[in-house]
């Protein structure tokens, strides 16, 4: 039973949400197919296969580097549980996950770019030829910056689920570091690594903004960027459709392969006493761990500090007085608010329907199939990337008339879909706990419908709803993928304006606008997490 006395409203909401997504995605894919009716698919050339090869190659390297960096960081954080600043470092690892990709790219340019701090330091040492961040090295560096913290947090969560008695047993047996790693830590991490690797690989394979900003031309182009270039610069719809079809085929096959890996089983704590890691108390071990953590801290924090410093050097007063900046901020907010609301509404509808199906005693194959469809809806961002959806709708709207007149609603829905997995991740735990605690109380009091929502559900779920809304809006504010094809005078968002200023070599303006965008995202994140969580009635 879901959050209502009858499961029918919950199921109706879930069906409506699935129908909306199916209609929107189906229309985009149909438009891609219809575009080939008159012109046919463009033949795949050697260049196309080179782009596909590079897409998979950079994704594989990015995954290996991200996991290779995350493993020692997670192990050091798990061993050193009492050093000052541990929680701060763990929270710092969450910042790249919510940071707009374009801002992160600018921060990396400030550290590793031609005139960045690293090249300035090398020049001071007498190295005349600067390191180039553009091309494959820059793409790998940026992917590690965004994905290493994600892998670290997921691995650390797995290590912290190891029961406390395991560590006491290891200490009593006198196990060394290698024995602890082989017999205790590695079994816990090995169950998680395939899933983490699959997630990072998919994120890197469907990366758009980072490759667009840091790519080094035809030799460092992914499928998504090639689709964008085929429409935006060459205006070659058959080639764009062929590339989009190849992208869907590749992402579908990858998701199918990764779905074959079994989900890791979580080991519950059997002893709730504080965990003491005896293997992390030696001086040499502590120094080695602190060195690893210091490197991770500098790697993640340096671009963030550079973003703030470079933004403050810009003429913020002039930028804030610029009418183009005003329009870009207003457009970004006008897109982010409905996108966030739609994402939260879809997430709520899917979670309610899923709980209703799980609680249904008559659930058979049909119920399991619907649960699978609802779960799959949260992975659509990986299966059907934003650029593919935008391409389909761009081609359809081009047939109907002026593209820019219809662009805003399309971008809103695409951004809502991209934020849907994150909104559901915030909402689902709170809704499931609330459902378990209060369904019987609601039934005994005869509360249902709007009365239950007003008196019982909304007071308890208000905070996670606002949190999910703020995260969805922040993600939409920083998105460049959906608006890249539609970007014009009528739909100039703040990320698009930053990208345009960067492309016209007005990097100081881009730094200032990036700081403004980062502050806007930070404000929404802080608003969503403000206040204390109240205890629900039991």
Query: For the residues of 451-506, what is the DSSP string, one character each?
Result: HHIIIIIHHHHHHHHHHHHHHHHHHHHT--TTHHHH-BTTB--HHHHHHHHHHTT-
What pLDDT, on the 0 to 100 scale, is given for residue 132?
82
The rounded distance, in Å, linking the Cα atoms of 481 and 307 is: 21
What pLDDT, on the 0 to 100 scale, is given for residue 292?
94
What pLDDT, on the 0 to 100 scale, is given for residue 176?
77
What pLDDT, on the 0 to 100 scale, is given for residue 165?
78
The rounded distance, in Å, linking the Cα atoms of 221 and 208 is: 9
Per-residue pLDDT tens over the stretch 220-246: 889 889 888 888 777 788 888 888 888
285's tokens: 């071990």
Distance of CA 212 to the CA centre of its chain: 17
What pLDDT, on the 0 to 100 scale, is given for residue 303?
93
CA separation (Å) from 78 to 63, 97, 188, 281? Answer: 22, 20, 12, 12
Neighbours of 43 (CB within 10 A): 9
The rounded distance, in Å, linking the Cα atoms of 414 and 420 is: 10
What pLDDT, on the 0 to 100 scale, is given for residue 27?
92
Query: For the residues of 90-107, what is the DSSP string, one character each?
Result: HHHTTHHHHS-HHHHHHH
What pLDDT, on the 0 to 100 scale, is given for residue 275?
65
Per-residue pLDDT tens over the stretch 156-197: 888 888 877 787 787 788 777 788 888 888 888 888 898 889
9's tokens: 């409203």
- Return the closest-CA partner of residue 199 out of 67, 57, 54: 67
In degrees rounded to 5, what are phi and psi of residue 491? -140, 65
CA dihedral 28, 378, 524, 435 (to 10 degrees): 140
What pLDDT, on the 0 to 100 scale, is given for residue 523?
84
Do 312 and 386 touch, CB atoms closer than 8 A? Answer: no
Query: For the residues of 182-242, what is the DSSP string, one character each?
Result: IIIIHHHHHTTHHHHHHHHHHHHHT--HHHHHH--SGGG--HHHHHHHHHHTS--HHHHHH
What pLDDT, on the 0 to 100 scale, is given for residue 366?
67
**End-to-end Cα, the chain, rounded Å:** 17
**Residues in Cβ contact with 444 at an 8 Å cutoff, skipping those fewer than 6 apart:** none
CA separation (Å) from 38 to 14, 34, 173, 238? Answer: 37, 8, 74, 10
**Residues in Cβ contact with 205 at an 8 Å cutoff, skipping those fewer than 6 apart:** 55, 56, 59, 222, 250, 251, 254
**Residues in Cβ contact with 238 at an 8 Å cutoff, skipping those fewer than 6 apart:** 35, 36, 39, 40, 41, 42
What pLDDT, on the 0 to 100 scale, is given for residue 74?
93
Q: Which residues of the chain have pLDDT under 50?
A: 1-5, 264-272, 532-538
What pLDDT, on the 0 to 100 scale, is given for residue 294?
94
What pLDDT, on the 0 to 100 scale, is given for residue 487?
67
């Amino acid at each position: 039973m879901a959050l209502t006395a009858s499961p029918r409203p919950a199921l109706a909401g879930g069906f409506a949400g699935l129908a909306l997504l199916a209609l929107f995605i189906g229309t985009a894919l149909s438009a891609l197919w219809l575009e080939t009716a008159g012109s046919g698919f463009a033949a795949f050339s050697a260049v196309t296969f080179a782009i596909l090869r590079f897409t998979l190659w950079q994704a594989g390297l990015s995954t290996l580097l991200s996991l290779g960096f995350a493993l020692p960081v997670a192990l050091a954080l798990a061993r050193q549980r009492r050093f000052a600043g541990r929680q701060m470092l763990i929270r710092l690892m969450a910042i790249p996950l919510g940071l707009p990709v374009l801002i992160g790219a600018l921060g990396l340019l400030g550290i590793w770019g031609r005139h960045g701090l690293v090249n300035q330091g090398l020049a001071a040492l007498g190295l005349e030829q600067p390191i180039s961040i553009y091309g494959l090295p820059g793409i790998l560096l940026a992917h590690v910056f965004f994905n290493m913290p994600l892998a670290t947090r997921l691995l650390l969560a797995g290590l912290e689920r190891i029961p406390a008695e395991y560590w006491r047993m290891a200490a009593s047996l006198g196990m060394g570091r290698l024995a602890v790693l082989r017999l205790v830590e590695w079994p816990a991490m090995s169950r998680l690594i395939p899933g983490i690797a699959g997630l990072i690989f998919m994120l890197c394979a469907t990366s758009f903004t980072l490759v667009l900003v840091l790519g080094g031309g035809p030799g460092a182009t992914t499928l998504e960027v090639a689709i964008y270039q085929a429409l935006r610069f060459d205006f070659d719809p058959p080639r764009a459709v062929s590339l989009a079809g190849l992208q869907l085929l590749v992402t579908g096959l990858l998701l199918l392969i990764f779905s074959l890996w079994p989900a890791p089983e979580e080991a519950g704590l059997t002893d709730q006493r504080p965990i003491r890691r005896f293997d992390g108390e030696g001086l040499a071990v502590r120094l080695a761990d602190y060195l690893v953590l210091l490197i991770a801290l500098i790697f993640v924090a340096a671009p963030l500090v550079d973003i703030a410093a470079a933004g403050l050097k810009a003429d913020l007063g002039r930028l804030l007085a610029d009418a183009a900046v005003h329009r870009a901020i207003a457009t970004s907010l006008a897109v982010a608010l409905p996108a966030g609301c739609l994402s939260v509404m879809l997430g709520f509808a899917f979670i309610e329907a899923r709980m209703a199906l799980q609680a249904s005693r008559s659930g058979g194959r049909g119920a399991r199939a619907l649960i699978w469809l609802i779960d799959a809806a949260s992975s659509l961002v990986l299966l059907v990337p934003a650029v593919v959806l935008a391409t389909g709708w761009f081609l359809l709207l081009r047939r109907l008339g002026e593209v820019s007149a219809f662009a805003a609603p399309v971008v809103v829905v695409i951004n809502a879909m991209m934020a849907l997995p994150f909104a559901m991740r915030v909402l689902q735990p709170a809704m499931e706990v609330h459902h378990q605690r209060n369904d019987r109380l609601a039934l005994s009091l005869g509360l249902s419908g709007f009365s239950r929502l007003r008196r019982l559900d909304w007071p308890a779920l208000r905070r996670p709803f606002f949190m999910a809304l703020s995260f969805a809006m922040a993600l939409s504010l920083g998105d460049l993928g959906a608006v890249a094809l539609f970007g014009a005078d009528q739909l100039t968002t703040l990320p698009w304006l930053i990208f345009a200023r960067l492309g016209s070599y007005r990097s100081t303006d881009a730094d200032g606008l990036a700081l403004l965008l980062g502050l806007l995202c930070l404000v929404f994140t802080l608003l969503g997490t403000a206040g204390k969580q109240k205890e629900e009635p039991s």
